[in-house]
Amino acid sequence: MPFPHQTEMAALRTQLGADIVGQSALLDRLVIGLLTGGHLLLEGLPGLAKTTAVKALASRVHASFQRVQFTPDLLPGDLTGTEVFNPADGSVRFVRGPLFHDIVLADEINRAPAKVQSALLEAMQERQITVGGVTHALPPLFLVLATQNPLEQAGTYALPEAQLDRFLLHVRLDYPAADEELRILQMHLQASDPARAIGQPPSAQAIDPGAVLAARQEVLQVHVAESLQRAIVDLVRATRAPQQRVPRLAGTVAAGASPRAVLSLAHAARALAYLRGRDFVLPDDLIALAPDVLRHRIVLSLDAGLKDVSSDALIAELLAATVWP
């Protein structure tokens, strides 16, 4: 392998595969998030190992981890921290909140109100937090892994488009295959403590945060050919006027993906190529990640519903119509 830390990160991915049965695509994308520092939005029904997979990743990295359960009564200070007055000497000190950890699990992120999302937006984009007019830098490894339930909408708040755009990937989870579900059951039955059977990795050497940060720099050296760069730009631009590639998609998009999608797709593809042991990106890397990069960045029109066109279906048609070098 061409990079010093590539073997170490590939081993991390292999270990996660031993911890979590099935959900191979999810595990790939968790490591991609770690390699890029890009935040991930994980969407799936309860019981599909979203939280478990995030905890497994955190246990494999020698870094601080904090899980925050988002609720409608959550306050911005519950995330960022707050200033505390000491009446004894009249001093004010800042008590750091859970966002100052390396890896933050934002569970059911769409249950928090707009003020909380606004505080989280600064942390995700600027990697800093401002409280009382003072700006505090977040850890270099800082990574937000958020979950949401696609079905239960009572007591939830739709994430604003600006915040959705800050997520590198929007990963949708499906049910595991039959043989994978059988393996999950077998692991549960064989465990001495069934309540802790799934997602609890065996003792192993955790990866040092310094190695992760070094791997992030190595990912930036993965080559993206100019022909692929042009294909990335063409694909993202096609989401803004899809009828130019697929006539039947005319009028289905209210707003296409932003230029940040171009950067995100290239960066994520670099990380996937790195994870697969290469120092160059292939079209397959882009095709595999395009739905996760684009689906939360496309706003469909009312006509899309009438034509029964979902964001995933639209992306699939655009990918099929793309000529890859």
User: Does 171 share its domain with 251?
Assistant: no
Q: Same structural domain for residues 12 and 144? A: yes
**pLDDT, mean of residues 18-26:** 88
Q: In this structure, is residue 200 part of a structural domain?
A: no
> In the numeric block, which tokens belong to residue 36?
């890029």
Q: Domain range holding 242? A: 222-320
Q: Please check whether residues 56 and 119 belong to one and the same domain.
A: yes
Residues 278, 176 share a domain: no
Q: Residue 186 pairs with which residues in a beta bridge?
A: none
Q: Are residues 163 and 243 in the same domain?
A: no
In a domain, 21, yes or no: yes
- Residues in a beta bridge with 119: none
The reply to whether 212 falls in a domain is no
On whether both 236 and 312 belong to a single domain, the answer is yes
Task: Note every long-range contact of 225-231, with CB atoms under 8 Å and residues 24 or more positions apart, other chains counting.
Answer: 225/280, 225/281, 225/325, 227/325, 228/281, 228/283, 228/286, 228/324, 228/325, 229/266, 231/283, 231/286, 231/322, 231/323, 231/324, 231/325
- Give the end of a domain, one of 172, 192, 212: 192
Q: Does residue 242 fall inside a structural domain?
A: yes
* Domain identity same for 187 and 302: no
Total tally of structural domains belonging to the chain: 2
Kindly report, residue by residue over 279-325, the tens digit of the pLDDT: 999 999 999 999 999 999 999 999 998 899 999 999 999 999 998 88
Give pLDDT tens digits for 39-65: 999 999 888 889 889 999 999 999 899
Residues 177 and 40 in one domain: yes
Query: Is residue 175 domain-shared with residue 238, that is, in the same domain?
Result: no
* Cα-based angle 124, 128, 132 (whole degrees, multiple of 5): 125
Domain end call among 150, 177, 192: 192
Nearest to 178 by CA among 189, 169, 190, 186: 186
Cα separation, 92 vs 96, in Å, equals: 13
Which of 192, 214, 248 corresponds to the end of one domain?
192
Asked if residue 63 and residue 21 are part of one domain, the reply reads yes
Residue ranges with strand state E in 239-303: 253-255, 299-300
CATH number of the structural domain spanning residue 187: 3.40.50.300
Percent of the chain exceeding pLDDT 70 equals: 94
Contacts of 285 (CB under 8 A, 6+ apart): 269, 272, 273, 276
Q: Are 276 and 227 contained in the same domain?
A: yes
Task: Mark whether 86 and 158 lie in a shared domain.
Answer: yes
C-beta neighbour count of 118 within 10 angstroms: 13
Residue 115 lies in a domain: yes
27 pLDDT band (50/70/90 cuts)? Answer: very high
Does the residue 254 lie in any domain?
yes
The answer to whether residues 248 and 307 touch, using CB atoms and an 8 Å cutoff, is yes
268 occurs within a structural domain: yes
Q: What is the pLDDT of residues 60-109, one digit of tens each?
A: 999 899 999 999 999 999 999 988 888 888 788 889 999 999 999 999 99
216 in any annotated domain:
no
pLDDT at 155: 66
pLDDT digits (tens, 9 = 90+) for 236-257: 999 999 999 999 999 999 999 9
| Pairing between β-strand 167-172 and β-strand 299-300 as defined by DSSP bridges | unpaired
